[in-house]
A = this chain, B = another copy of it.
Amino acid sequence: MIETPYLLFLGDAPDPLAAKVAQGIKDWRPENCVGQFRLEGCKADLKLPDMTLAEAKAAGAKTLVIGVANRGGVISKAWKKVLIEALEEGFDLASGLHNLLRDEEDLAAVARATGRTLHDVRIPEVQYPIANGEKRTGKRVLAVGTDCSVGKMYTALALDSALREAGKKSSFRATGQTGILITGDGVPLDAVIADFMAGSVEWLTPDNDPDHWDVIEGQGSLFHVSYSGVTMALVHGGQPDALILCHEPTRTHMRGLPGYQLPSLEAVRDVALELAKVANPDCKVVGISINTQHMGEDEAAAYCKEIEDRMGLPTVDPFRHGAARLAEALDGV
């Protein structure tokens, strides 16, 4: 569990996209962000107050979060200076980078000396159990995709917000590094050892109030041969009551797999539902989320209507249309 609120480190981001993790935190959990820290030449700007470490500390920040993808997989000297100062000022550090904070000897030494914590959110911090399949109280909804990177995290975050806005009890349950940094907690599922994958999802979504929704971030796709095992563990470990299908209509092949076509929404619906019913016989597919970022406004609306008519399920792009209709679709579950 990462202590909040955060100071968001944007470093020397070469463009706004490089700071998309920080942008995600600011968009979805603005209450977790006291300010941003930028180095000279930084081309990203979250429109948060620029703060020194001392100013952020005075404003209550507990953790400096690296919200930027670095170049070349190396933590640069310019970054190091700030990170070490942050530890000395009493901040924990959190990062989703491939090159781990803990593997940097100077950072590890200063963290030990100052008693601060280095959170590498790609690495599990918990010894997860093997899944026991026991029925848990509370409700769960899982986003499943036709492919990787079709908007499952965005859909889950938007659905969580829509449920809260409608006065419902809801928790977004992160299963990837960006989601973990956004919420400060979660399971880095792709880094969990095979035998414990489903158990880690059970651990992430424990017993809860009968009217509480866990909105579980999806990973991979049952039809993506590289990562389908991870998706399978979510379907069984999450024992979802409801599934939301996620799709990006302009994809010409499965991400990273040029020889592989995307499955139809019908195929994903049928296979995911049959497998989900093993863990929860009452599971239903309740809605569809379309990522229309590569479409114009009219084209997007027409496409969603076409899918809604074809599949007989509420179909929206949560980014354009909000997720209120998906949240309403959970009412009947």
Q: How far is the CA of A18 from the CA of B134 in the complex (A)?
A: 31
Question: Can you list, as one digit per residue, whether each of A46-69 has a CB less than 8 Å from chain B (1) or not (0)?
Answer: 000000000000000000000000
Asked whether any CB of chain B lies closer than 8 Å to the CB of A90, the reply is no
Central interface residue in A190, A227, A259, by most chain B CB within 10 Å: A227
Check B225 against A195 for contact (C-beta < 8 Å): no
Q: For this complex, into which size category does the number of interface residues on chain A fall?
A: 35 or more
- Evaluate contact between B190 and A192: CB separation under 8 angstroms: no
For this chain, the copies found in one complex come to 2
| Cα(A197)–Cα(B133), bound, Å | 22
Cβ-defined contact, B233 with A194, below 8 A: yes
A223 interface residue (CB < 8 Å to B): yes
Nearest chain B CB to A18's CB is how many angstroms away?
Answer: 23
Residue from the list B191, B223, B233 in contact with A278, Cβ < 8 A = B223
User: Which chain A residues numbered 204 to 239 have a C-beta less than 8 Å away from chain B?
Assistant: 222-223, 225-233, 235-237, 239
User: Nearest-CB distance from A257 to chain B (Å)?
Assistant: 5
Contact B225 A133 (CB under 8 A): yes
The yes or no answer to A131 lying at the interface (CB within 8 A) is yes
A263 on the interface (CB 8 Å rule)? Answer: yes
Given contact pairs A133-B257, A259-B134, A271-B274, A199 touches B226 in the complex (Cβ within 8 A): yes
Q: Show the binding face of A for B, using Cβ within 8 Å.
A: 130-135, 189-195, 197-199, 222-223, 225-233, 235-237, 239, 254, 256-257, 259-260, 263, 267, 271, 274-275, 278-279
Beyond A189-B194, A229-B231: 7 further Cβ-contacts under 8 Å? A131-B225, A191-B194, A194-B197, A198-B227, A228-B232, A229-B229, A271-B275
